[in-house]
Amino acid sequence: MKTTSNRVVNVLIVTQCSFTHLALNTVLTGMQLTSGEKINVASSGFLKSDFMSIDFIICADDIFNEISLKSILKIKEALQYASLSSKMVFLTSRHHFSLGYFISDLCEKNGYCTTIDKTMSDIASDLRRILNFTFVFNELPPYTLILTARERDIIIDLIKQKKPAYLSKKYSINQKTISAHKVSALRKLNFAHLNNIFSLNALT
């Protein structure tokens, strides 16, 4: 016998594409978790009036295809409604998984990535699994390249437009090493130039 629960799991969808929002809203609306909890897809307007706390922030692929200031500000707005236990879910292509984990790290939230190049039924299955079992947030796919602590610190400082000479003194390493860490981090994040991710400064 399936247990029922009056509790609702609040989900906020962050995307610039109205079709993606509609598709995810359709998938999530009416979804019931194994615990009996139901999914509530919250709107920003409803959140502002009810001071609702968000359990999951789902960021969809267009956020990664265009790392614009507008994209980042949408994530930052969503974080206003996050609690300490809120988690981030990234629906993206495999080559942007590392960037998803990096963004969740910047947001100081647990993050989990799943690929969006699937059928809607497969995406629905993935989301049900993720929303049901929070332990997946401790899993990192083996093919995901996560930045080292030094790479992370340097790339964040560079995003904040700190100069290599300043970082050389800060970390007591020469500027060639700073450059090597930058190149390695950008490669892992699948970007050719630092300019492509300067808008992430809005999250730091």
Q: Span 29-55, mean pLDDT?
A: 76
* pLDDT of amino acid 52: 72
CATH class of residue range 8-138:
alpha beta
* pLDDT of amino acid 3: 43
Torsion of CA 56, 58, 64, 66, to 10 degrees: -110
Q: Span 131-152, mean pLDDT?
A: 77
Please identify which residue in the block is written with the tokens 């996050």. 82
Of 5-9, 34-38, 132-136, 164-168, which gets the smallest average pLDDT? 5-9
Six-digit token string for 118: 């699937």
Residue 48 pLDDT greater than 70, yes or no: no
Six-digit token string for 3: 């247990």
The DSSP secondary structure of the chain, one letter per residue, reads: -----S-EEEEEEE-S-HHHHHHHHHHHTT-B-TTSPEEEEE-HHHHHHHTPPEEEEEE-THHHH---HHHHHHHHHHHTTEEEEEEEEEEE-GGGHHHHHHHHHHTTSEEEEEESSS-HHHHHHHHHHHHH-GGGGG---TT--PPPHHHHHHHHHHHTT--HHHHHHHHT--HHHHHHHHHHHHHHTT-S-GGGGGGGGGG-
Residue 4 pLDDT greater than 80, yes or no: no
Residue 56 pLDDT greater than 70, yes or no: yes
Tell me the pLDDT band of 45, cut-offs 50, 70 and 90. low
Residue 92 pLDDT greater than 80, yes or no: yes
* pLDDT of amino acid 25: 92
Per the CB < 8 A criterion, the answer to whether 135 and 179 are in contact is no
Q: Span 122-134, mean pLDDT?
A: 86
Q: Span 28-44, mean pLDDT?
A: 83
The percentage of residues in the chain with a pLDDT greater than 70, rounded to a whole number, is 90
Tell me the pLDDT band of 16, cut-offs 50, 70 and 90. confident
Torsion of CA 175, 177, 183, 185, to 10 degrees: -120
* pLDDT of amino acid 2: 42
Domain ranges of the chain: 8-138, 149-188
Tell me the pLDDT band of 114, cut-offs 50, 70 and 90. confident
- Residue 9: name the closest of 68, 48, 58 by CA: 58
* pLDDT of amino acid 167: 96
- Residue 47: name the closest of 6, 101, 104, 86 by CA: 86
Q: Against a cut of 0.75, is the pTM above it? A: yes
